[in-house]
Structure 1
Amino acid sequence: MTAIAMIKNPVIDNSEEIEESTAINNIKYMPESDQDNRKKVFEGLKRQNVEFILAQFVDIHGAPRVKQVPLDSFDDIIDKGAGFAGGAVWGMGMGPESHDLMARTDLETFKQLPWQPNVALASSDLYVDGEAWPFCPRNNLKRMLKIMAEKGYTLNGGFEPEHFLVTRDDQGNLKPWDPLNIDSQPKPCYDFKGMCQSMDYLQDIMRYGNEMGFGIYQSDHEDANGQYEINFDWTNALHASDRLVHFRMMSGQVARKYGAIATFMAKPFENMTGSGAHLHFHVADAVTGKNIFPLAPSEKDWKGLGLSKTAIHYIGGLLKHIRAITAVASPHINCYRRIQSGEFVYSSASGYTWTPSFASYGDNNRTQLFRCPDSNRIEDRSPSSMVNPYLLLAVNIAAGLDGIENQIDPGDAIMGRNIWNLSIQERKELGMILLPQNLMEAVEALEEDDVVKGGLGAIADEYIKLKKGEWGEFMRHVTPWEVRRSLTLL
């Protein structure tokens, strides 16, 4: 729940003023010829005794997919790519008859794995027959960033991934990881004993993450038993997405060392707070890298938040399209357990859900959907920990640009109000939009929103089809709750 640090270096791809770094040997690489850069990365890998490389991309869900190749194939996976059968992967728009899906590694993303130092990891872009594949979430985000750059802007930010450590009992039931049986407080957030129990795990995460270049600056025990959060430095939208994916990969491997499962399931326990991936972001000038969210000295403070008109219009676009965006920010059925609304909805053992169910924006107030902790950034508190970050940032750009270009006014900022204490009627009177309360409702909103679908590009139809399929499968499933409630009701 802690606020992310102020941006130290708003990173702009290909900027001549800003150094891009890779974690290998902590070498920093200035923009040079591709061959010189390639040679330095390869030599760094050799010095670190790396033997194998994981060429990694994500499927439509944001789940990592990899091939392991020997270091001798370094040039091949950059130039040609590692080959995959696209029909074997969710949402690639391919069948078993399709040509090979080639994952070409991004030279700026090579990272040695601290927990398995003979292996390096690299994010990849997908190609088919030499052409960038439009169903690749990373390619799609790069497409949207290019559109944004052509309009003079770029997007920077960082995620705050919450997650649980869990175990299974002999019957296969989930329970929070609690080896000392001390993590049982109803309000365990920031608890010293809970933190001490997990200190070795969190220190491994922070140490390894920083060796991989994440810039982790703090960690804490979150609002639920067995739940934790890590805070990163900021970077550009593309690498912020890479970082979240790599963090989720890392935490799963480190948790095994402690006999736990690291889960990013949005709400694994019905009586506890769910897990989010809060997004802090700002828009910057594409040429200078200057953050354009803070109010200029000559500009009137339109909404009382110290934000520029550009920032306010960007928020206006996000709010206008928030119901469709929710289909991407909360991509699975379980995600909607976090954002339920109503006068009598049980929140959690701690008393709060920490999750918005109505769309609002305003001051430094965690009951807002779009919180303004400082004029240099906005926090989006809606994304689930299960989010595909590439898709979320792509639709963020699409909606935000719509707001700027059409000067969308989001209405008055909500100031000094506990939104959770307001009745549904009061929220509606303040102009707040109720977020979709289930996946199908969100997908139907997405189907009707051409701007957000445009942010997904070729992925949109495939995404909608898969989400409708997920909903249909769920609706055919009879839950234990239904049996308990209905078996002898009549």
Structure 2
Amino acid sequence: MAQPQSVEDVKKLIKEHDIEFIFASFTEVQGKSSAKLVPASQVDALFTEGVGFAGFAAGHIGQGPQSPDVEIIPDPKTFRIVPWKKGLAHVIGNVTVEGEPWEYCPRTILQNQMEKAKEQGYVFKLGFEAEFMLVDYDDDGTLKVADKYDNWGRPCYDVKALTRQYELMTSISKYVTELGWDNYAVDHEDGNGQFEINVTFADALETADRAIFFRYMVDSLAEQYGMIATFMPKPFTDNTGNGFHYTMSLWDSETDENLFLDENDPRGLDLSELGYQFSAGILDHARGYMAMVAPTVNSYKRLKAGTELIRTWVPVAITYGGNNRTQMLRIARPGAIEDRTPDFAGSPYLGFTAALAAGLDGVNRKLDPGEPNDMDLYIAPQKEIQRRKIQMLPHSLMESVHYLCEDDVLREAFGDVPVDGPYGEPSDDTESFVDYYARIKRAEYHEVTDEVTTHEIARYLRFP
């Protein structure tokens, strides 16, 4: 399906595909999608007046119970036919309040950062690799891999496990292609019950919109097959975690030329000087950046070094290299940088904003990431890591939030947001979005970690 550019294009698609209803949606700060079902007959009002939501009820969007409704003004470019539900379409909008853009809106934040890049002549493009697991519950409520036969010690690329999920995987693949995203591979990943569907790249806003729809699609289709599709970073202690890898590049806004490509790269990675500078920016801001791309307590249970028994395929150090999966940034193909740290437990709009801001800072300061690293960082001795002055990624959400709050470049990228008075009354005060986000994440950290677990009782009740 060709991507619509205007409301008139949307109306034509509604007529051609006999669309009866439209999900009008937005995402809040933690990545949750909220929607209302709008009759297609109301399409004119939908795109002019928008749809109202009680923002406080929807989630974290900078609102209290006393706040006015948020209004969602859909972007016609996000209009998509829902392939598995006849007569249904989906559209994503930006959050406004009383007719003005709402500074807490993740989609608006990303658009603002992309405008800054465009002022420098750049278009930020990404592709994503979203890993997910198909799971279910036992009769006693224990989480399990949905396919009981998917229990091999090395299940990666297992043809039999992929065949057992053939109907679901091929349905998703065909729908991705119908949506115009060009799926180019489906595979069983390294975890039991884990799969990945690769999607071609686009500009950052379009890719974030695609990611939101993709997550909704995979979850909905898995339910039809009696399973739960989870993008949770680490649902099982003894199983590989789920990542959401970013493959990033800057393109010329006028010529649409990939500015990261240099086939004469003296370092042999086919990456331009601009690409190295962008990489250096990501590495320089990695600790605070992590709070946006690995945004939950559970995220840091995924980011552990692999062992022979539990392979993780994730980075633990702030490094870059060639086709080496133990590095944070992997340069595996010409003209693109793959970041292996992100997961899909939060908002892609905020994650992409952080990546672009950090990378552009490297470009503007002409940073050099040094020579690429070719070690296996899972087995490298601590003395060698110290000798090479390799820094490690944060070990917890609380640690990454601390570094985020210390990062002035990321503070500037996410901007300031309005705040109410001490009793919820309107005021002219503002604060940094980063401070708002940090409060949410600190509360989440304590909500999860302050609870005494059965493991702690077993370990400490009679000790010492």
User: Which TM-score tier does this pair reach, normalised by the shorter chain?
Assistant: over 0.9
Aligned residues: 448
2:32 and 2:59 in contact (8 A); partners too: no
1:48 and 1:327 map into 2 onto residues whose CA distance is: 41
For 1:329, which of 268, 293, 300 is the aligned residue?
293
- Measured on the aligned residues, the alpha-carbon RMSD in Å equals 1.5
2:187 and 2:196 in contact (8 A); partners too: yes
- Are 2:196 and 1:229 aligned? yes
2:272 and 2:335 in contact (8 A); partners too: no
Q: TM-score, normalised by structure 2?
A: 0.93
For 1:378, which of 329, 337, 348 is the aligned residue?
337
1:366 and 1:475 map into 2 onto residues whose CA distance is: 30
Report the counterpart of residue 315 of structure 2 in structure 1.
356
**How has the CA–CA distance of structure 1 residues 196 and 448 changed in structure 2, closer, same or farther, with 3 Å as cutoff?**
same
1:75 and 1:431 map into 2 onto residues whose CA distance is: 59
2:187 and 2:268 map into 1 onto residues whose CA distance is: 32
**How has the CA–CA distance of structure 1 residues 348 and 256 changed in structure 2, closer, same or farther, with 3 Å as cutoff?**
farther
Comparing 468-477 and 142-151, the one that deviates more:
468-477
- Are 2:40 and 1:71 aligned? yes
Q: Which runs of 4+ in 1 moved over 6 A?
A: none
Report the counterpart of residue 171 of structure 2 in structure 1.
204
Report the counterpart of residue 55 of structure 1 in structure 2.
24
2:320 and 2:84 map into 1 onto residues whose CA distance is: 41
Report the counterpart of residue 12 of structure 1 in structure 2.
none
- Are 2:265 and 1:306 aligned? no
Offset of 1:296 from its aligned partner?
Answer: 7.0
Q: What SS does structure 2 have at the residue aligned with 1:194?
A: helix
- Are 2:366 and 1:407 aligned? yes
1:291 and 1:460 map into 2 onto residues whose CA distance is: 31
Q: What SS does structure 2 have at the residue aligned with 1:317?
A: helix
2:167 and 2:270 map into 1 onto residues whose CA distance is: 40
- Are 2:260 and 1:293 aligned? yes
Unaligned runs of 5+ in 2: 417-432
Aligned ranges 1:80-479 → 2 under 5 Å: 80-178=49-147, 181-295=148-262, 301=265, 303-341=267-305, 347=307, 349=309, 351-415=310-374, 417-458=375-416, 459-479=433-453
2:25 and 2:92 in contact (8 A); partners too: yes
**How has the CA–CA distance of structure 1 residues 296 and 372 changed in structure 2, closer, same or farther, with 3 Å as cutoff?**
closer
Q: TM-score, normalised by structure 1?
A: 0.89
Q: Which amino acid aligns with 1:219?
A: V
Q: What SS does structure 2 have at the residue aligned with 1:489?
A: coil
Offset of 1:246 from its aligned partner?
Answer: 0.7
2:263 and 2:334 in contact (8 A); partners too: no
**How has the CA–CA distance of structure 1 residues 388 and 434 changed in structure 2, closer, same or farther, with 3 Å as cutoff?**
same
Q: Which amino acid aligns with 1:285?
A: D
Report the counterpart of residue 9 of structure 1 in structure 2.
none
**How has the CA–CA distance of structure 1 residues 28 and 120 changed in structure 2, closer, same or farther, with 3 Å as cutoff?**
closer
Taking CA–CA contacts closer than 8 Å with sequence separation of 6 or more, which of the two structures ends up with the larger relative contact order? Answer: 1
2:126 and 2:67 map into 1 onto residues whose CA distance is: 36
Q: What SS does structure 1 have at the residue aligned with 2:378?
A: helix
1:271 and 1:348 in contact (8 A); partners too: no
2:386 and 2:196 map into 1 onto residues whose CA distance is: 32
1:27 and 1:302 map into 2 onto residues whose CA distance is: 40
Q: Which amino acid aligns with 1:312?
A: Y
Report the counterpart of residue 480 of structure 1 in structure 2.
454
1:397 and 1:455 in contact (8 A); partners too: no
2:23 and 2:366 map into 1 onto residues whose CA distance is: 44
Offset of 1:169 from its aligned partner?
Answer: 0.7
1:89 and 1:190 map into 2 onto residues whose CA distance is: 39
Comparing 468-477 and 324-333, the one that deviates more:
468-477
Offset of 1:293 from its aligned partner?
Answer: 0.4
2:243 and 2:340 in contact (8 A); partners too: yes
Report the counterpart of residue 13 of structure 1 in structure 2.
none
Superimposed CA distance per residue, residues 167-198 of structure 1 (whole angstroms, 9 cap, x where no aligned partner): 001111100011xx321110000001111111
**How has the CA–CA distance of structure 1 residues 120 and 28 changed in structure 2, closer, same or farther, with 3 Å as cutoff?**
closer
1:277 and 1:385 in contact (8 A); partners too: yes
**Identity %, equivalent residues:** 37
1:54 and 1:41 map into 2 onto residues whose CA distance is: 13
Superimposed CA distance per residue, residues 14-72 of structure 1 (whole angstroms, 9 cap, x where no aligned partner): xxxxxxxxxxxx2465x6xxxxx322321211221111111111111111111111112
Superimposed CA distance per residue, residues 111-147 of structure 1 (whole angstroms, 9 cap, x where no aligned partner): 1111112110011111111111110000000000001
Q: Which amino acid aligns with 2:395?
A: Q
1:236 and 1:316 map into 2 onto residues whose CA distance is: 21
2:362 and 2:67 map into 1 onto residues whose CA distance is: 39
2:224 and 2:449 map into 1 onto residues whose CA distance is: 37
Offset of 1:375 from its aligned partner?
Answer: 2.3
Offset of 1:303 from its aligned partner?
Answer: 3.5
1:87 and 1:93 in contact (8 A); partners too: yes
Offset of 1:163 from its aligned partner?
Answer: 0.4
1:77 and 1:105 in contact (8 A); partners too: yes
1:92 and 1:197 map into 2 onto residues whose CA distance is: 41
Comparing 67-76 and 321-330, the one that deviates more:
67-76
